[in-house]
């Protein structure tokens, strides 16, 4: 990689980890785009090397007016509202769809590599499967506006024939360092660690389907280090375009995740099953599991970290130091 790289959402969870790994690979000519305001996510930038920081609204204005002061090599667009409970549909449509479209159009105009975050939330309840091919994508039915805002851009890029020039990544349930600022959107690993430390037990949602026991709902849990590695694979392999799942290909239960967290903390499992809020029940995914076929065909051949190894690394090298 050479030249200036923009990382939007660069003070956020996946974005800051991308900046860290770019630094580890010798890339310091990085511009971080984000909006800090009163949030604590500024702490994610401590210790990272980057050339400049720009507010996300100022960056968008510079794109729209063609007034960027840098010669860009690539844009890694992680900036978005990732709250699945956000109810302001107009805000999500502008922030997650229109902003991405503005930035993509600019990158295509100037031949700048564009890699962006889509989401596994686009798959809805999973009834149509988890295929990331172009034929399956238009049929998907997201369960919430966050998922639909991501789906809107995927559809726009497909409809206009841009997917062969850009890369979208459908991240599944990512967990790991630098998610501390995400409040309710933190991973259950982060939440469970705090609950275990304070009370000695973990609360997991009950199941409201007969085919899933309490805590038996499953997710494809992805360690953030793997999500970053997949992202940078497509930053480096510029002859590849398309929409790709970023997941382990293995579905694991919430009970598995809780047990892995207890084990990493050296505690015996103690799980309570709690009622799910009414507003979540109709929008809840009981099963997610990435189909890796397309990702592997694109040349990404590295193994993904197991849930137990990822949770152990996260707890012992990050969360334990913040207890």
Q: Which of 199-213, 219-233, 273-287 has the lowest mean pLDDT?
A: 273-287
Q: Are 244 and 294 in contact (CB under 8 A)?
A: yes
Tell me the two tokens of residue 152.
């809107």
Predicted local distance difference test score (pLDDT) of residue 1 = 57
The CATH code of the domain that includes 201 is 3.90.25.10
Tell me the two tokens of residue 92.
């999500």
Predicted local distance difference test score (pLDDT) of residue 282 = 81
Q: What is the DSSP string of 107-162?
A: HHHHT-EEEEE--GGGGTTSTT----STTTGGG---SSHHHHHHHHHHHHHHHTT-
Flag whether pLDDT at 2 surpasses 70: no
Q: If you average pLDDT over residues 227-250, what whole number do you get?
A: 97
Tell whether 161 and 35 lie within a shared domain: yes
For the chain, the average pLDDT equals: 95
Confidence of residue 10 (pLDDT cuts 50, 70, 90): very high
Predicted local distance difference test score (pLDDT) of residue 44 = 97
Active-site residue numbers? Answer: 146, 182
Tell whether 61 and 12 lie within a shared domain: yes
Per-residue pLDDT tens digits for 23-48 = 999 999 999 999 998 778 999 999 99
Tell me the two tokens of residue 213.
């026991």
Tell whether 197 and 113 lie within a shared domain: no
Tell whether 201 and 238 lie within a shared domain: no
Instruction: Record the pTM.
Output: 0.96
Tell whether 164 and 258 lie within a shared domain: no
Flag whether pLDDT at 192 surpasses 70: yes
Predicted local distance difference test score (pLDDT) of residue 220 = 98
Tell whether 103 and 203 lie within a shared domain: no
The Cα–Cα gap between 124 and 113 comes to 29
Show the domain range for 90.
Answer: 4-174+221-248+292-304
Q: Under 8 Å CB-to-CB from 308, ≥6 apart: which residues?
A: 260, 263
Q: Are 196 and 322 in contact (CB under 8 A)?
A: no
Q: If you average pLDDT over residues 204-219, what whole number do you get?
A: 96
Tell whether 150 and 225 lie within a shared domain: yes
Closest CA to 107 of 54, 71, 133: 71
The Cα–Cα gap between 103 and 15 comes to 16
Tell whether 103 and 185 lie within a shared domain: no
The SS3 assignment for 181 reads: helix
Tell whether 204 and 192 lie within a shared domain: yes
The Cα–Cα gap between 157 and 25 comes to 30
Q: If you average pLDDT over residues 113-140, what whole number do you get?
A: 96
Confidence of residue 14 (pLDDT cuts 50, 70, 90): very high
Confidence of residue 84 (pLDDT cuts 50, 70, 90): confident
Flag whether pLDDT at 315 surpasses 90: yes
Residue with token string 């280090």: 225
Q: If you average pLDDT over residues 224-244, what whole number do you get?
A: 97
The Cα–Cα gap between 112 and 8 comes to 14
The CATH code of the domain that includes 45 is 3.40.50.720
Q: Chain-centre distance of CA 306, in angstroms?
A: 18
The Cα–Cα gap between 47 and 26 comes to 14
Q: How many CB atoms lie within 10 A of CB 90?
A: 8
Flag whether pLDDT at 104 surpasses 70: yes
Tell whether 187 and 164 lie within a shared domain: no
The Cα–Cα gap between 100 and 60 comes to 10
Predicted local distance difference test score (pLDDT) of residue 83 = 84
Flag whether pLDDT at 259 surpasses 60: yes
Tell me the two tokens of residue 142.
């997201």
Q: Are 34 and 53 in contact (CB under 8 A)?
A: yes
What is the tally of structural domains in the chain?
2
Tell whether 46 and 190 lie within a shared domain: no
Q: Are 107 and 36 in contact (CB under 8 A)?
A: no
Q: If you average pLDDT over residues 57-64, what whole number do you get?
A: 96
Tell whether 53 and 127 lie within a shared domain: yes
Q: If you average pLDDT over residues 172-197, what whole number do you get?
A: 95
179-185: long-range contacts, CB 8 A cutoff, minimum separation 24: 179/13, 179/224, 180/40, 180/43, 180/322, 181/12, 181/13, 181/39, 181/40, 181/41, 181/43, 181/44, 182/13, 182/82, 184/83, 184/85, 185/82, 185/83, 185/84
Q: If you average pLDDT over residues 63-91, what whole number do you get?
A: 92
Closest CA to 121 of 284, 7, 276: 284
């Amino acid at each position: 990689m050479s030249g200036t790289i923009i990382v939007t959402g660069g003070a956020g969870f996946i974005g800051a980890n991308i900046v860290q790994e770019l630094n580890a690979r010798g890339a310091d000519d990085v511009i971080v785009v984000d909006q800090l305001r009163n949030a604590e996510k500024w702490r994610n930038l401590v210790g990272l090397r980057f050339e400049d920081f720009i507010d996300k609204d100022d960056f968008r204005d510079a794109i729209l007016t063609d007034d960027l002061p840098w010669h860009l090599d690539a844009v890694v667009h992680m900036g978005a509202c990732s709250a699945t409970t956000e109810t302001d549909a107009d805000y999500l449509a502008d922030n997650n769809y229109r902003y991405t479209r503005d930035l993509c159009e600019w990158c295509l105009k100037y031949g700048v590599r564009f890699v962006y975050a889509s989401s596994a939330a686009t798959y809805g309840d999973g009834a149509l499967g988890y295929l990331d091919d172009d034929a399956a994508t238009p049929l998907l039915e997201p369960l919430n506006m966050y998922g639909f805002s991501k789906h809107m851009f995927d559809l726009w890029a497909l409809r206009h024939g841009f997917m062969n020039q850009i890369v979208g990544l459908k991240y599944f349930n990512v967990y790991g360092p630098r998610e501390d600022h995400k409040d309710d959107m933190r991973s259950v690993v982060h939440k469970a660690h705090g609950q275990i430390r304070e009370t000695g037990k973990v609360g997991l949602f009950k199941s409201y389907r007969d085919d899933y026991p309490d805590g038996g709902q499953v997710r494809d849990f992805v360690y953030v280090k793997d999500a970053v590695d997949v992202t940078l694979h497509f930053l480096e392999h510029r002859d590849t375009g398309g929409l790709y799942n970023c997941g382990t290909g293995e579905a694991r239960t919430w009970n598995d995740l809780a047990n892995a967290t207890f084990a990493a903390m050296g505690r015996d499992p103690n799980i309570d099953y709690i009622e799910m809020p009414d507003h979540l029940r109709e929008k809840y995914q009981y099963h997610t599991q990435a189909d890796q076929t397309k990702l592997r065909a694109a040349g990404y051949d590295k193994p993904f970290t197991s849930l137990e190894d990822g949770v152990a690394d996260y707890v012992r090298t990050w969360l334990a130091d913040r207890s």
